[in-house]
């Protein structure tokens, strides 16, 4: 490597680094104003019961159409919102919007549940339980129809504050769902220690289950485990009829994925609820 090449390389790396830092800063800056500017929207992805082929709930998923940056995906802006603390006000916005949108769905469908993602940073907010109690009261939304999707990381770290919050939420009647199940540092002991109601099998396992024997076994094991522990089980990321058939054979209770529906706006959920059964894409 000549000296000049070395220098070029260095310049190349600092340039890349600068670009990613400036993108990050831009996102943080514009995200700060996004709530007030009305740039955040909540989309909903249906969850279907396999047995009845009917919609039994939705997962709320945040969307950001920035006037400055265009459409930015949650996988990019949620981590930045977490690091900057912005996830707390943003998460409150999602909760308020979702409770208000889902009010009529739970009134219409006796089993219907609303699932909302809660990041570890939101979970460490001491006011989380109080905020939820206040919003449930204000909206009249039944606590037993609200489900918080948390990741294994929250439970793995544990600690007295996490345990207190979990116990309080459980007492309030709110359900807990273990999102992305199988991707964390799974020690299964937390399933015994904490009041978890549901496992969501991560889509990376579902996606390979019809071509990879090991993934198929893991999905099957997660379904048996849920059954044994009396937990609800949801397979996420179902994209093909083959996957749906395999899951159905394994008696997986609930499915969610692009095959059934992409995340859509609240109005489209109204329309999908009118249909008696799922319509595969």
Which residues does 86 contact at the CB level (< 8 Å), separation at least 6?
28, 31, 32, 80
User: According to CB under 6 A, which residues from 198 to 257 bind ligand C2E?
Assistant: 203, 236-239, 257
**Shortest distance in whole angstroms from residue 265 CB to ligand C2E:** 13
Alpha-carbon distance of 78 to 90, in angstroms, equals: 9
The answer to whether 178 contacts ligand C2E (rule: CB under 6 A) is: no
* Element counts in the chain: helices (H) and strands (E): 12, 9
User: According to CB under 6 A, which residues from 110 to 149 bind ligand C2E?
Assistant: 117-119, 149
Nearer to Mg ion by C-beta: 47 or 117?
117
* Count of chain residues binding Mg ion (CB under 5 A): 4
Number of Cα atoms under 13 Å in the Cβ half of residue 189? 4
The answer to whether 46 contacts ligand C2E (rule: CB under 6 A) is: no
**Residue 74 partner contact from Mg ion, ligand C2E, none using kind-dependent CB cut-offs of 5 to 8 Å:** ligand C2E
Sign of CA dihedral 274, 118, 200, 264: positive
Of 178, 179, 112, nearest to 141 by C-alpha is 112
Among 179, 199, 205, 263, binds Mg ion (CB under 5 A): 179
Nearer to Mg ion by C-beta: 166 or 263?
263
Alpha-carbon distance of 58 to 111, in angstroms, equals: 11
Q: State the binding string over 144-173 for Mg ion (x if CB under 5 A, else -).
A: -----x------------------------
Alpha-carbon distance of 143 to 133, in angstroms, equals: 9
Which positions lie near ligand C2E, rule CB under 6 A? 45, 60-62, 73-75, 78, 91, 94, 117-119, 149, 179-180, 203, 236-239, 257-258, 263
């Amino acid at each position: 490597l000549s000296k000049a090449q070395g220098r070029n390389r260095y310049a190349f790396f600092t340039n890349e680094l600068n670009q990613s830092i400036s993108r990050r800063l831009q996102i943080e800056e514009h995200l700060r104003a996004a709530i007030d500017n009305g740039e955040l929207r909540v989309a909903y992805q249906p969850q279907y019961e396999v047995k009845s082929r009917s919609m039994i709930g939705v997962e709320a998923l945040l969307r950001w159409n920035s006037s400055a940056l265009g459409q930015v995906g949650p996988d990019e802006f949620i981590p930045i919102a977490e690091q900057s603390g912005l996830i707390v006000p943003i998460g409150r916005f999602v909760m308020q919007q979702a409770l208000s949108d889902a009010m009529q769905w739970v009134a219409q469908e006796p089993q219907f549940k609303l699932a909302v993602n809660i990041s570890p940073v939101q979970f460490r907010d001491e006011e989380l339980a109080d905020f939820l109690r206040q919003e449930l009261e204000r909206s009249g939304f039944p606590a037993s129809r609200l489900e918080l999707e948390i990741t294994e990381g929250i439970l793995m770290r544990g600690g007295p504050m996490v345990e207190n919050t979990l116990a309080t939420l459980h007492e309030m009647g709110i359900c807990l769902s273990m999102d992305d199940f199988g991707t964390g540092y799974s020690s299964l002991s937390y399933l015994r220690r904490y009041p978890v109601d549901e496992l969501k099998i991560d889509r990376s396992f579902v996606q390979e289950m019809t071509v990879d024997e090991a993934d198929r076994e893991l999905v099957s094991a997660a379904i048996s485990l849920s059954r044994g522990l009396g937990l609800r089980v949801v397979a996420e990321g179902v994209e093909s009829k083959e996957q749906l058939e395999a899951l159905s054979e394994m008696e997986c209770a609930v499915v969610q994925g692009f095959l059934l529906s992409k995340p859509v706006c609240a109005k489209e959920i109204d329309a999908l609820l009118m249909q008696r059964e799922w319509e595969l894409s």
